[in-house]
Amino acid sequence: MGSYHNSSIRFNNWHMILFFCCSFTMTCLLWMVLAFLPIYLSKLGIQSKMAGFIIGAYSIGGLGFIIPFGMLADRVSPKKTLFLGIFFILLHIVGIKNLTLPFWLAICAFVGGLGLSIFQIVLFALFLKVIPEDKRGIRISLYQMGFFLGFGFGPLIGAQLHHCGDYQLVLSASLVVTAILALFFSLLPDSPIYAFRWNEYRDDIVQPRALLFLIIYFIYGMHFGVEQTGFSVLMKKELGFSTREIGIVYMAVGMWMAFLSPFTGHRFDVQGRITPLLIGGLLISSVFHIATAYADNLVQMIGARILHTLGDTPAIFSMGMLTALLFPQGRMGGNSAIVYSVRTLGIFVGNFVAGIIAATEGYRGAFIYTGLFFVIASLAFWPFVHSLYANVSVASSDGVIKK
């Protein structure tokens, strides 16, 4: 069905540390820029609907191109594709530093979204290509631990810089972080190159299990979109938090998720069951997405978000694990790009919906109404997940499904 070349990659502890550092630095960069961008847009006098569209441009930035780039990463060196992402990120940061009109800021966000999509798709696809099949749960959870720590440290660093200067200082520092990320990318191992037919991507996606996974990820992506657009503004404008307090919230949540992550991966390696992690995670995340709207101070907000991430951590792990299980390693770049595009489309819809609801109900209302929708959707998915993923199997490197 497919063949590959140079398939012997010796994955060792150094490679795991390097992927962890890349995941951490990449996410730290993302949240340094994004956590305070809504506040910066508000300071520029941009209305909530337009701000939601600008933030949403990050999500749609990669939709037209990320699938071709993901497929390209299956045919050529993924490392070269990652450096293309570095170029887009640099271009978008420089643009935001120097432009103020909403149209041009949306263009910058579009370009940045393309770069961030390349980072997230190609890096994770490369990781899944080179890790061995044993102990995948704990390895994926360690990779995601870097993601969670970056989610915590990025806003905290951004908050400190914002307090010492302004958003321009945050952007300047992000240029330095981008250079560090480029150094880490240069040290990564490269992946095997597989030979296969282009229509095999379609065959991978039309499996019922893959289609269900894409629908779930679209809905789950909407929750990320609501948070991207509304969480920082909710804390700053409606609750009166300082930028330091906002950074503390992100830091506490990121550290907590990083702590939970390896336990989640180990549990999967031991039990091999995805349904409790996925559905339980979605339900807990949805309930405390609503609870976020009722937090009135720093302690309550940290408590609500820690409980929220008791669901997010296993849900995010499940999404990564299902990507590894449902799609063959040789086509992981293209298939991961398709998965990420669906997630990204969900984020864009969440961005836009949050802006619309906030215009009349405020950002508290945005969290309440979207959270109710996520609870209902999670309950609706439960029987289908139990049926299709009860005995989920592994796709091999050449696309053959192992029974």
The per-residue pLDDT for range 204-214, each reduced to its tens digit, is 888 888 999 99
Interior angle at CA 366, CA 39 and CA 59, nearest 5: 60
133, pLDDT greater than 80: no
pLDDT for 8 beyond 60: no
Question: In whole numbers, what is the pLDDT of the chain averaged over residues?
Answer: 83
CA angle 197, 398, 209 (to 5 degrees): 90
Which range in 54-68, 186-200, 363-377 is most confidently predicted, on average pLDDT? 363-377
Summarize the confidence of residues 393-398 as an average pLDDT.
44
For residue 202, the tally of other CB atoms under 10 A from its CB is 10
Confidence of residue 401 (pLDDT cuts 50, 70, 90): very low
Residues above pLDDT 70, as percent of the chain: 92
Separation between Cα atoms, residue 326 and residue 5, nearest integer Å: 22
- On the question of pLDDT at 272 being above 90, the answer is no
Of residues 228 and 27, more confidence is placed in 27
Q: What percent of the chain has pLDDT over 90?
A: 26
Q: Cα(389)–Cα(17) distance, rounded to whole angstroms? A: 31
Do 394 and 140 form a contact (C-beta atoms < 8 A)? no
How much is the pTM? 0.76
Q: Is 266 exposed, middle or buried (0-12, 13-18, 19+ CB in 10 A)?
A: middle
Question: For residue 372, what pLDDT is reported?
Answer: 94
Tokens of 349: 């819809």
List beta partners, residue 194. Answer: 4
Q: Are 48 and 359 in contact (CB under 8 A)?
A: yes
Q: What is the pLDDT of residue 6?
A: 41
**So what's the pLDDT on residue 194?**
63
**Tokens for 48?**
């909530």
How much is the pLDDT for 195?
A: 55
| pLDDT confidence of residue 193 | 66
Averaged pLDDT, 210-232: 90
Phi, psi of 395 (to 5 degrees): -90, 130
CA-atom Rg of the chain in angstroms: 20
4 beta partners: 194
Q: Is 286 left (phi over 0), alpha (psi -120 to 50) or beta?
A: alpha
pLDDT at 392: 60
Residue 400 CB neighbour total at 10 angstroms: 12
pLDDT band at 196 (very low <50, low <70, confident <90, very high): low
310 Cβ neighbours under 8 A, 6+ residues apart: 260, 284, 288
* pLDDT computed for residue 156 by the predictor: 83
Taking 80 as the threshold, does the pLDDT of residue 369 lie above it?
A: yes
Mean pLDDT throughout 62-88? 79
Average pLDDT over residues 47-58: 81
CB 342 within 8 A of CB 219: no
For residue 213, the model assigns a pLDDT of: 93
- CATH fold, domain 13-192+200-402, is Growth Hormone; Chain: A; (1.20.1250)
**Calpha distance 322→210 (Å, rounded):** 9
Query: What pLDDT, on a 0 to 100 scale, did the predictor assign at position 64?
Result: 67
Look up residue 237 and give its amino acid.
K
